[in-house]
Amino acid sequence: MTAQTPTSNTLAKGRLGVPSISALVVSAVAPISVLAAGIPVIFAIQGASTPAMFIVSGIIYALFAVGYVAMSRHMVNAGGFVAYVDRAFGKRAATAMSYVTVLFYFASIVAFYAISGAVAADVLGIPEQYRLVTFGFLVIVAALGLLGVQLNARLLLILLAVEAVAIIVLDIALAVQGGPDGYSFAGFNPTLVFGGGFGVALLLAMVCYSGLEATVVFSEEARTPRKTIPRSVYVSLVIVIVVYAVSSWLMTVQVGTEAALIPPDRIGSFFFEVAGTALGETFAKLLGYLVILSFLALFIGFQNLITRYLFALGRAGALPKGLGRTNGRGNPIVASITVTIVIAIILGAFTFSGADPFTVTYAYLVGLGTVGLLISLCAVSISVLVFFLRTRVETNPWTTIIAPVLATIGMLAVLIIAISNYEIIGSTPESARMMLLAIPIAAVLGWIVAEIRLRSGRELDYSAELGG
């Protein structure tokens, strides 16, 4: 008999290949949305050296991926980060870190919903109806989440294909058109790259890669995970680095080295101005609608990531056990519904209290999410190093020591920059800074939950599916 029982605590096996997992992960990064909203912010700070920022931050992520992928070969678990920390530092530290990860995932996704709904409403010509558009996104994503990851992955492959065609067409047009300085590489001059805005620009570039770290959460559903997950990590990373670096460089070529340092009031229109100059206003308007589809792809990708994370924590005993159940098709329905409800509550609290989606909801929560992400990345980098030093299951010094150490140094440096420049990624008001206290509170809460469960002899098992 191969039929599954009505419910279980196991995800359906072998249904995701490299294209599907890469689509889910790259969608969470939302490349065309970053081109429209993220890259212009960096142009306003760093100008022509913006492409170099994506290369430097991509290198840091690549160093992280070396150890991350190497350790993934020794574990197959939808918990991702928490399973890594558990293997290195034990269940208390793993549970503490897992609560921080849940916090940054929810803070980030709510921030993205808020700003995306407002931008999409403006593109559609109904800016005053941004609340309707925002929750319309949520309803669509919630329904898709119930239909299973395979359908979601297929839909995301279609959406990404459309995005890819639009980006390629734009890049070709920019390359053919050239610019006032020719095909200049002046922005890669070290004196410009490591200028006064380097730290903040690097931080914002790192934020644009958020989502790539979550590939491992699909390992239980992957075909031959020991091969599929590493390939998916590197495929996703290469795609994103190339898109960001090449597209931002071609934008620099079109406007010229000097003009690439755009004023703040052009951040929102810069991408569409460039597209309009290269291919006309009709294409620029089309890109506006593609950005909306990119938002939808982002939400679908993140919904699946967070769902599997809650599922793994529920199955392990760190969260209510009900979250760790799947239906007859191996879909974590309870976790998916829970994710939607939590997003709706937080988003509703901000939205219907009159909070501005840009200056309050997004500004407050994206800073919290960014710092939480960097803390989690640092914790995982250190965990990879400790794991290999303890187990000696692999002996290649590059994958077990050198790359993890370099990744840890890079992530810690960016974390220090993030905290030192919090007004850039978060918000100026002291109330926004106070939200950072949620990170140690979440960590302490996770530690207490683990301590209580372990002292009472109850299960707290992050090794489910280990070595599968």
Using pLDDT thresholds of 50, 70 and 90, give the confidence band for residue 72: confident
More reliable by pLDDT, 341 or 267:
341
CATH no. for residue 120?
Answer: 1.20.1740.10
8 Å CB contact between 40 and 268: yes
Residue 163 pLDDT greater than 50, yes or no: yes
How many CB atoms sit inside 10 A of residue 430's CB? 7
- H/E segment holding residue 22: helix 18-29
Contact 361/134 with Cβ under 8 angstroms?
A: no
209 vs 246, which has greater pLDDT?
Answer: 246
Judge whether 467 lies within some domain: no
CA distance 248 to 239: 14
Q: Is the pLDDT of residue 456 over 90?
A: yes
Helix (H, G, I), strand (E, B) or coil at 76: coil
In a domain, 461, yes or no: no
The answer to whether the beta carbons of residues 1 and 206 sit under 8 Å apart is no
Q: Which of 274, 293, 338 is nearest to 145 (CA)?
A: 338
Is residue 78 over pLDDT 60?
A: no
Q: How many domains does the chain have?
A: 1
Predicted confidence (pLDDT) at residue 5 exceeds the cutoff of 60? no
pLDDT value at position 141? 94
| pLDDT band at residue 4 using 50, 70 and 90 as cut-offs | very low
**Any domain includes 54:** yes
Give me 210's structure tokens: 């958020």
Residue 101 within any structural domain of the chain: yes
Q: Confidence class of residue 23 from pLDDT cuts 50, 70 and 90?
A: confident
Indicate the SS3 state at residue 28.
Answer: helix
244, 135, 372, 458: CA torsion to nearest 10: -130
| 363, burial (CB in 10 Å: exposed 0-12, middle 13-18, buried 19+) | buried
Average pLDDT of the residues in 60-79: 82
pLDDT digits (tens, 9 = 90+) for 275-290: 999 999 999 889 889 9
pLDDT of residue 79: 58
pLDDT band at 154 (very low <50, low <70, confident <90, very high): confident
254-265 CB burial, b ≥16 within 10 A, e <16: bbebeebbbeee
CA distance 303 to 335: 10
pLDDT, one tens digit per residue, over 347-398 is 999 999 999 888 888 888 888 988 999 999 999 999 999 999 999 999 899 9
Distance CA 67, CA 177 (A): 41
Is 463 within the bounds of a domain?
no
Q: Which of 316, 290, 308 is nearest to 92 (CA)?
A: 316
Among 258-262, 294-298, 444-448, top mean pLDDT goes to 444-448
Highest mean pLDDT among 27-31, 55-59, 353-357: 55-59
What's this model's pTM, rounded to 2 decimal places? 0.86
Q: Return d(Cα 463, Cα 89) in angstroms, integer.
A: 13
Q: Range of 185's domain?
A: 18-448
Looking at residue 420, what is its pLDDT? 83
Q: What is the mean pLDDT of residues 252-258?
A: 91
Task: Please say if the pLDDT value at position 426 is more than 80.
Answer: no
Q: Which of 103, 97, 120 is nearest to 370 (CA)?
A: 103
Q: Percent of the chain scored above 70 by pLDDT?
A: 93
Q: Which residue has the tokens 């501005």?
A: 356
pLDDT-derived band at 2, boundaries 50, 70, 90: very low
In a domain, 325, yes or no: yes
Q: What is the mean pLDDT of residues 432-458?
A: 93
92 and 450 Cβ atoms separated by less than 8 Å: yes
Q: What's the N-to-C CA distance of the chain in angstroms? A: 21
In this prediction, residue 64 carries a pLDDT of 94
- Would you say residue 133 has pLDDT above 70? yes
